[in-house]
Structure 1
């Protein structure tokens, strides 16, 4: 049985890697996890996760996408699919893989061939106008995360406006406000992923 794949996309600096780090640390004792990261010309995000000890080094693979990060998660996902295949061969009982995209714009989306669940991360520092700008990440992702809520007073962002606009743009699709430094909102994300993936039983994470 193939692992359930969660795609995490969003603009540069929105907190994608911090989210992957937090999710791994929150879920690794119960679920068998691996990560694929995407960077344009480096493996910076993969190296960050290794340094932070989110998972063991061999559970984290970095993909260098070149100049078009959105292509590697949508039009031609072959590099990411190859990385996923390698991880599934290393760890036969994997049941959850996070695929972090390179930083991109609001139009970036994952191919349904690549992931089972789309999570999109924006941050308050971009201003309270971001949700109403729309784009596939805002309107069509399975879960929208509005991160860095602690910065709202410093950038003049109104969380009430962001909530109203997110509801308007997404309809019934869920969204979560987060401050990953304090793990505020993290539990709701973990619960959402577990629910959608059907991950409810304790798993042997040793292989």
Structure 2
């Protein structure tokens, strides 16, 4: 959050103190005014929804424009491991020197040359591999958890973006696919994601296949 405050105008809580007590880390931060954007969303007018989503799009574009460190790869804001409870197998991942290395870990090291036959038990897996192995641009700064519960509003004003623990340098599609899949009970929010993050339909297909074969949540 301090990094975001230093590099953008995005409203985030001020951090007053961080400390460890009995093996657990605590953060004392500002309490922002507002309610979760999902509360009453279905009752908003189209004009109100459009105004809020335009503001959110501007904020997302602002943090995605933060210049990445040289050879950022896929890592947290300080270059260390990423933390995302939705990823299978373990809590901490990496850091990774490149998007390719990150993708390889996500698919358990399986390469296209390992695929033989038509693999009827894994339909679409060859497509998944080919999407992973395409050329990807440099990583961008990503919140990684843009569910409706992490965006606070008062009226049509966004008063805060919260829960930055998954933030870091990720493939450019990660913000989109995670916002789309972040909460299985947040299906109404899926209809809005294309309005504030550049759509990546191929990446969404790729992530759907990854979650099918390797797990999520």
Does TM, normalized by the shorter one, top 0.5?
Answer: no
Using the size of structure 2 for normalisation, the TM-score is: 0.27
- Bigger radius of gyration, 1 or 2? 2
Higher helix share: 1
Using the size of structure 1 for normalisation, the TM-score is: 0.27
